[in-house]
Amino acid sequence: MKPAWRLPVVAPLAMPTLVLAALALGTLVFATSVPARAATIQISVENLEFSPVNATAKVGDTVEWVNKDVLAHTATAQNGDWDVMLPPKKSGTVVLKKAGTVDYYCRFHPNMKATLTVAP
């Protein structure tokens, strides 16, 4: 009695093509499933100023404020998203959770203002 099913017969010359196709598909799937790496955006605080005054980042990025002054500062978002204390000659960070444009300032020196634009 013969089985009701049969394995397909593949010509010997077609095997390398099938192997290459499988490798290409595997590479394509792997390449599209690798997440992008988050970046660290550095903002300096020096001479009572944020620099750059206008910065851009993406959701998931880390913003690091580097206080080069001998005075304490804060990076305080006007919308309440963050309030980072920056002791003299120290740094502070925040990981960005949502997209949008955020104006921020120093609570101790309200004339220190800057804007961070966060892309999705």
Element (H or E) spanning 2, and its range?
Answer: none
**Total domain count, the chain:** 1
Q: Is residue 80 part of a domain?
A: yes
The residue range of the domain holding 98 is: 40-119
Residue 24 lies in a domain: no
> What's the pTM?
0.70
Examine residue 84 and state whether it is found in any structural domain, yes or no: yes
Identify whether 31 is part of a domain.
Answer: no
Mean pLDDT of 36-61: 95
Residue 27 lies in a domain: no
Q: For position 37, what pLDDT does the model report?
A: 85
DSSP β-ladder status, 62-67 and 40-46: parallel
The verdict on residue 22 lying in a domain is no
Kindly tell me if the per-residue pLDDT of 120 is higher than 90: yes
Band the pLDDT of 22: cuts 50, 70, 90. very low
CATH of residue 90:
2.60.40.420
Q: What percent of the chain has pLDDT over 70?
A: 70
Question: Tens digits of per-residue pLDDT, 67-117?
Answer: 999 999 999 999 999 999 999 999 999 999 999 999 999 999 999 999 999
- pLDDT tops 50 at residue 34: no
Round to whole Å and give the CA distance between 103 and 9. Answer: 67
Concatenate the DSSP letters of all residues of 46-110 into one string.
Answer: ETTEEESSEEEEETT-EEEEEE-SSS-EEEEETTSS-EEEE-TT-EEEEE--S-EEEEEE-SSST
Q: Is residue 10 part of a domain?
A: no
Residue 109's SS3 state is: coil
On the question of pLDDT at 28 being above 80, the answer is no
What is the Cα 108 distance to its own chain's centre? 29
The answer as to whether 28 is a domain residue is: no
